[in-house]
């Protein structure tokens, strides 16, 4: 291997790995964002895979020990004392205003390192260089996500009780029911109305948004990214028959949450690949409110929680008496509707769910 190219590759593999570690620590310890952590870890894992595949590309020249020889070649080419770049330091590099500023610098440094790896990697293996290019685009997406909705994502990761608000299931005025659910401990409310005119739906969304904001509760709109955006909601929830997530993201913007409903393992696996901010799974149990022919049950919740750090939201037929089964399956949150909003005492019903959460 050409020694200058080896030095360039070595420096930028190190630079990219270091940037990813700084970013991961911010997502983990500052934002408390499990989705951000998971995406950074996947990027780091895939970058390591590119290094291994680059080793394979020189197999013909180096024989069976190509991976070890590549590592040796990069390490042998390193010349830190003789690197003229180590002594060039700008004033701005010496100062960081806060932890966010540290992360921003790392998020800028990461794609720069990946671009250098991509370009010089072309001299060894164009296919691996193309993989590194794909990592660079993911780094751009990561920066947008962490800086624009990382705080909302972290807030959602702490949600324990997610309540759907549908007027037809309320025994009292729907907004009063929502207020009582919040008083009982609901961390997130979703406005779920399938049959309202757009004007009325938007009006209700704005009223519920104000209530949620007043109490620092997340607010999600069902099905309609346009209404969610106009109402300044925290996000939108999409079902399997709603528009694709990529189109919803174009409408909603990069700073809001998108959740997706799934009803079997195949749908769940597809949802994970699309990168939502949370995934609903269900139904967990048979429900008198919305009877289902197929109930995947807690097994789907266990399958989901074992495979991703993305928040999993079980839904369907959940009551305080069976919620413990879902906590045992690894869930930290439950989503309910009639079990809270149809209760005689909505605040008490919500509080029963909150007190059932394992401490």
Separation CA 272–CA 79 (nearest Å):
42
Q: What is the structure's pLDDT at 102? A: 96
Tokens of 288: 């008198």
Q: What is the structure's pLDDT at 65? A: 45
Q: What is the structure's pLDDT at 324? A: 96
Contact 165, 178 (CB under 8 A): yes
Domains of the chain in sequence order: 3-150 (no CATH), 158-356 (3.20.20.70)
Separation CA 140–CA 146 (nearest Å):
10
Tokens of 317: 């037929």
Helices 99-121, 126-157: inter-axial angle, 10-degree rounding: 160
Q: What is the structure's pLDDT at 199? A: 98
Q: Could you tell me which residue, 59 or 316, shows the higher pLDDT?
A: 316
How far is CA 17 from its chain centroid?
21
Residues 80-93: pLDDT tens digits? 666 655 555 565 66
- Span 303-326, average pLDDT: 96
In order of 73, 198, 309, 339, the CA distances from 204 in angstroms are 64, 10, 33, 22
User: Per-residue DSSP letters for 220-282?
Assistant: EEES-HHHHHHTT-SEEEE-TTS--HHHHHHHH-TTSEEEEEE-SHHHHHHHHHH--SEEEE-
Cis peptide before 214 (omega within 30 of 0): no
170 Cβ neighbours under 8 A, 6+ residues apart: 177, 341, 342
Contact 165, 189 (CB under 8 A): yes
Question: Out of 24-38, 47-61, 185-199, 270-284, which region has the weakest mean confidence (pLDDT)?
Answer: 47-61
Residues 156-187: pLDDT tens digits? 999 999 999 999 999 999 999 999 999 999 99
Question: Out of 4-13, 60-69, 89-98, 119-128, which region has the weakest mean confidence (pLDDT)?
Answer: 60-69
Separation CA 189–CA 206 (nearest Å):
13
Q: Could you tell me which residue, 255 or 73, shows the higher pLDDT?
A: 255
Give the pLDDT band of residue 67 (cuts 50, 70, 90): very low
Separation CA 122–CA 120 (nearest Å):
5
Q: Which helix (H) or strand (E) holds 131?
A: helix 126-157
In order of 23, 151, 253, 256, the CA distances from 146 in angstroms are 9, 8, 14, 11
Q: What is the structure's pLDDT at 294? A: 86
Q: Which long-range contacts (CB under 8 A, 24 or more apart) does 21-25 make?
A: 22/102, 22/103, 22/106, 23/103, 23/106, 23/107, 23/110, 23/142, 23/146
What are the phi and psi torsion angles at 88 (to 5°)? -100, 110
Is the pTM above the cut of 0.75?
A: yes
Question: Out of 57-66, 262-271, 329-338, which region has the weakest mean confidence (pLDDT)?
Answer: 57-66
Question: Out of 29-38, 49-58, 225-234, 239-248, which region has the weakest mean confidence (pLDDT)?
Answer: 49-58
Give the pLDDT band of residue 59 (cuts 50, 70, 90): very low
Residues carrying an active site annotation: 192, 261, 290
- Span 120-140, average pLDDT: 94
Place of tokens 């399958």: 303
- pLDDT higher than threshold 50 for residue 60: no
3-state secondary structure of 143: helix
Q: What is the structure's pLDDT at 7? A: 84
């Amino acid at each position: 291997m050409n020694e200058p190219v080896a030095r360039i590759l070595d420096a930028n593999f190190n630079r990219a790995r270091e940037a990813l570690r700084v970013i991961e620590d911010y997502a983990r310890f500052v934002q408390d964002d499990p989705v951000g952590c998971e995406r950074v870890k996947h990027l780091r894992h895939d970058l390591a895979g590119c290094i291994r595949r680059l080793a394979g590309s020189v197999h013909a020249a180096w024989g069976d020990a190509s991976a070890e020889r590549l590592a040796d070649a990069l390490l042998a080419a390193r010349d830190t004392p003789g690197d003229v770049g180590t002594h060039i330091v700008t004033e701005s590099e010496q100062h960081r205003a806060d932890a966010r500023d540290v992360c921003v610098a790392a998020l800028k440094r990461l794609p720069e390192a990946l671009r250098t790896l991509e370009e010089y990697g072309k001299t060894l293996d164009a296919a691996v260089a193309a993989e590194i290019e794909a990592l660079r685009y993911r780094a751009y997406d990561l920066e947008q996500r962490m800086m624009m909705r990382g705080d909302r994502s972290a807030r959602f990761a702490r949600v324990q009780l997610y309540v759907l608000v549908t007027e037809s299931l309320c025994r009292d005025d729907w907004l009063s029911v929502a207020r009582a659910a919040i008083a009982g401990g609901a961390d997130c409310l979703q406005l779920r109305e399938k049959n309202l005119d757009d004007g009325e739906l938007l009006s209700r969304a704005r009223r519920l948004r104000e209530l949620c904001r007043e109490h620092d509760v997340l607010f999600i709109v069902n099905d309609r990214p346009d209404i969610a955006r106009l109402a300044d909601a925290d996000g939108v929830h999409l079902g399997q028959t709603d528009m694709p997530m990529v189109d919803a993201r174009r409408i909603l913007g990069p700073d809001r949450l998108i959740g997706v409903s799934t009803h079997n393992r195949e749908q769940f696996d597809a949802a994970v690949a699309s990168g939502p901010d949370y995934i609903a799974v269900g139904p967990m149990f048979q429900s008198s409110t919305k009877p289902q022919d197929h109930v995947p049950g807690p097994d789907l919740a266990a399958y989901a929680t074992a495979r991703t750090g993305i928040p999993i939201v079980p839904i369907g037929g959940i009551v305080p008496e069976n919620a413990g089964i879902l906590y045992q399956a690894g869930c930290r949150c439950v989503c309910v509707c009639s079990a809270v909003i149809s209760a005689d005492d909505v605040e008490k019903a919500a509080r029963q769910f909150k007190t059932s959460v394992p401490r």
